[in-house]
Amino acid sequence: MRVRIEEIQADCILEKDVMGKTKNPIIAANTVLDKKHIHILRAFLIKEVDIQVKMANGDFFKKTETKMDKKVFDFNTDNPSQELSFTEQYRQAVEQYKKEFQSWQSGLGVNMSNMRKLLIPLIEECEKNKDWIKSIHLYSNKDEYLYHHAIGIAMISHFLAKGLGYDKGQSLQAAIAGCLADCGMARVALSTLNKIGALNENDWIEIKKHPTYSYQMVKMLTLLKPEVKLAIYQHHERLDGSGYPRGEKGIRIHQLSQIVAIADVYHAMTTERPFKNKRSPFKILQIMEEDLFGQFDIAILKVLATGVASLSVGSNVKLSNGEKAKIVYIKPEALTRPLIKIKNNGNMVDLEKNRHLYIEQVIN
């Protein structure tokens, strides 16, 4: 996320190297900024830097008020501001989804007008810069995971639909399907939903009812196409028949259902959850392609991998063993497993052949 110097604060984390006129950075990527760093940036007349969406203390970055700040989004108007940054649009969407979810818990139905107002500005912002797909897993937090997850599924579903050639309207329907896939969680008992500690067998039985609850909440909505309602119902089905609620397999699972399923699993496994630590997107793509082989559509997974793992030759990466390396060659058939050069010893390693190693993160 790019911000002006007057907006940054102590505890911000640099996303990219801040370069001057030499080959060495003024301040390196992943540095936690303090007052001294900020003073140095001003001394070098640096006007903008790229920072991570989360600060070192775990909070989301929130820029300080300046005269140049953009207009504030008002969800209750028919003309929401189009000037908000991606991060601000994302936050607004999560907050509004939370309000909608709480209304469902109180017994109210799904308001499609509100869902469209919630998603369309965010989707339009996503269209401007598709790099968000590489970092969407960083935006979530475990305390409000349920709300972040719904927005994450929506965004990724839209990305996948566009990548498969869906038109604008169809892609928006995919986003809506993703966003409403877990609306049925509002019907799950609060004692289960808010449980502290591991879920028992009865809890899981209740949780697995949520696709059915979700479908019941949307089945009478005339603004949703039948395939969208089906995707909401089928998003936990798997091509090999191992899913739920009906154990459908193969062609009986609609492609839109498979899109939402892949978005759901990818976002869940790469983000911080109440009782699960997040894992590297590169590792999760490997798991989905290999360990869970047969469960997901290969063509849809390829679209996801192309977006998430769109690496460049020369990029610096951190490996799962902690070593740093530089990408030397990218194989079209193995996007997440390029040929790399280890920095500390110069050894060349083919990640496709050394499968115990994987990319943990791209450094810059």
Residues 151 and 300 in one domain: yes
Per the DSSP assignment, residues forming a β-bridge with 342 are 325
58 falls within a domain: no
The CATH number of whichever domain residue 21 belongs to comes to 3.90.105.10
Residue 102's domain spans which residues? 86-308
Residues 190 and 109 in one domain: yes
Residues 172 and 128 in one domain: yes
Q: Which of 68-77, 215-224, 245-254, 298-307 shows the lowest per-residue confidence on average (mean pLDDT)?
A: 68-77
- 259-268 burial: b if 16+ Cβ within 10 Å, else e: bbbbbbbbbb
Q: Model-level pTM? A: 0.78
Q: Give 83's pLDDT tier (boundaries 50, 70, 90).
A: low
Residues 172 and 94 in one domain: yes
Residues 139 and 268 in one domain: yes
Residue type, 302: K
129 vs 176, higher pLDDT: 176
Q: How far apart are CA 102 and CA 119, in angstroms?
A: 18
CA proximity to 297, closest of 140, 109, 131, 161: 161
Q: Per the structure, how many domains does the chain have?
A: 3
Residues 219 and 296 in one domain: yes
User: 302: which 2 tokens?
Assistant: 């390829």
Residues 295 and 333 in one domain: no
249 falls within a domain: yes
Which pLDDT score, from 0 to 100, does residue 122 have?
94
Residues 296 and 350 in one domain: no
82 vs 160, higher pLDDT: 160
Q: What angle separates helix 112-128 from helix 168-180, to the nearest 10 degrees?
A: 120
56 falls within a domain: no
The CATH number of whichever domain residue 272 belongs to comes to 1.10.3210.10
55 falls within a domain: no
In this predicted model, what pLDDT tens digit does every residue of 155-195 receive, in sequence order? 999 999 999 999 999 999 999 999 999 999 999 988 888 87
Q: What is the phi/psi pair of residue 275, to 5°?
A: -130, 20
228 vs 89, higher pLDDT: 228
| Cα–Cα distance list, 196 to 110, 141, 272 (Å) | 28, 16, 16
% of the chain surpassing 70 pLDDT: 93
Residues 195 and 91 in one domain: yes
Q: How far apart are CA 349 and CA 362, in angstroms?
A: 17
Q: Give 315's pLDDT tier (boundaries 50, 70, 90).
A: confident
Q: What is the phi/psi pair of residue 9, to 5°?
A: -135, 165
Residues 349 and 257 in one domain: no
Q: What is the phi/psi pair of residue 43, to 5°?
A: -65, -35
Mean pLDDT of 266-276: 87
